[in-house]
């Protein structure tokens, strides 16, 4: 079972056909309101994430790529989106961009989807993709469709999904996911560095304590030697000091 924390689980909407592997997170636009149950996830305009399919199972959003693609649908109707038609899909809200990045980051951690741009829909491609990469059509807005050898991700040639404005935001989604990755590594590095500094400080303190202890032992040994060298001239006080130093020296050596 694979359900992303922090999402609204709406119940399993798939026929439970298992995924084969996890190569891609693909961004779609709904042409409507969230949730959209054909995808694993759908994102409302305020960034709220619905999960309609456990990622153990396939979505129905990428046709020939369903066995390896985690699909995200994104709301595009209602405030604050303007009324639109054709290919002029409005850009994702900032909250949607951030939510898509969260899903990508989670898919990376949970399923090993690489944090990189997916170049096309060919079977060996991996990373963050957009639906049009698996769609046939003569697109003229700078974002081409399916390349030769690529999987077909829809039965509707010419479909613009997710629209040029949203395709242009794909690098931003990736950057946010990578920033989260770098922040985690930076946090881990900071913890490691602090632990190393604490270990260094403990080692230095132990060295100082050992040096002081050895100093005391040396001083005691010198006093014992001096008293012994006095021989019969040693006073009662010298003998008392001798017993004290011997006892402390034996005790400290026993602790070592």
Q: Which pLDDT score, from 0 to 100, does residue 251 have? A: 66
C-alpha distances (whole Å) from 124 to each of 10, 77, 104, 163 are 32, 34, 19, 24
**Taking the model in full, what pTM does it have?**
0.73
DSSP-assigned letter for residue 12: -
Task: Determine contact, residues 115/173, Cβ cutoff 8 Å.
Answer: no
* Structure-token match 């006073």, residue found: 235
> Counting Cβ atoms within 10 Å, is residue 96 exposed (0-12), middle (13-18) or buried (19+)?
buried
Q: Which pLDDT score, from 0 to 100, does residue 22 have? A: 98
Residues facing residue 70 across a β-bridge: 25
Helical segments of the chain, H only: 94-111, 164-167, 170-230, 236-255
Q: Which pLDDT score, from 0 to 100, does residue 100 have? A: 96
Length of the chain: 256
Q: Which pLDDT score, from 0 to 100, does residue 217 have? A: 75
* pLDDT tens, the chain, 256 aa long: 799 999 999 999 999 999 999 999 999 999 999 999 999 999 999 999 999 999 999 999 999 999 999 999 999 999 999 999 888 999 999 999 999 999 999 999 999 999 999 999 999 999 999 999 999 999 999 999 999 999 999 999 999 999 999 999 999 999 999 986 656 655 555 665 577 667 778 888 888 888 887 878 777 777 777 767 766 666 767 667 666 766 666 666 656 5
Q: Count other C-beta atoms under 10 Å from residue 122's C-beta.
A: 15
Report the alpha-carbon distance of residue 240 to residue 204 in Å, rounded.
Answer: 35
CATH number of 8-168: 3.40.80.10
Report the alpha-carbon distance of residue 22 to residue 144 in Å, rounded.
Answer: 24
Structure tokens at 155: 């039965």
DSSP-assigned letter for residue 128: E
Structure tokens at 72: 């995200």
What burial letters (b/e) apply to 60-70, b meaning 16+ CB within 10 Å?
Answer: bbbbebbbbbb
Domain map of the chain by residue range? Answer: 8-168, 192-255
The alpha carbon of residue 235 and the mean position of all alpha carbons in its chain are separated, in whole angstroms, by 75
DSSP-assigned letter for residue 157: T
């Amino acid at each position: 079972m694979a359900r992303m924390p922090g999402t609204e689980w709406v119940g399993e909407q798939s026929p439970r056909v298992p995924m084969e592997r996890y190569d891609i997170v693909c961004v779609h636009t709904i042409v409507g309101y969230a949730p959209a149950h054909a995808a694993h996830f759908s994102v409302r305009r305020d960034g709220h994430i619905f999960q309609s399919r456990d990622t153990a199972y396939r979505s129905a959003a990428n046709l020939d790529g369903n066995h390896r693609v985690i699909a995200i649908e994104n709301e595009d109707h209602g405030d604050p989106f303007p009324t639109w038609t054709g290919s002029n899909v409005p850009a994702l809200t900032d909250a949607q961009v951030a939510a898509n990045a969260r899903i990508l980051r989670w898919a990376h951690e949970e399923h090993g989807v690489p944090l990189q741009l997916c170049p096309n829909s060919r079977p060996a491609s991996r990373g963050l993709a957009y639906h049009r990469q698996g769609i046939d059509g003569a697109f003229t807005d700078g974002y081409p469709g399916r390349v030769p050898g690529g999987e077909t991700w829809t039965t509707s040639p010419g479909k613009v999904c997710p629209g040029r404005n949203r395709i242009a935001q794909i690098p931003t989604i990736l950057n946010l996911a990578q920033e989260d990755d770098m922040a985690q590594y930076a946090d881990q590095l900071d913890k490691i560095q602090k632990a190393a500094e604490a270990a260094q400080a403990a080692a230095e303190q132990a060295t100082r304590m050992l040096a002081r202890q050895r100093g005391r032992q040396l001083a005691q040994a010198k006093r014992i030697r001096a008293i012994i060298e006095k021989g019969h001239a040693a006073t009662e006080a010298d003998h008392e000091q001798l017993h004290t130093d011997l006892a402390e020296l034996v005790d400290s050596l026993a602790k070592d």
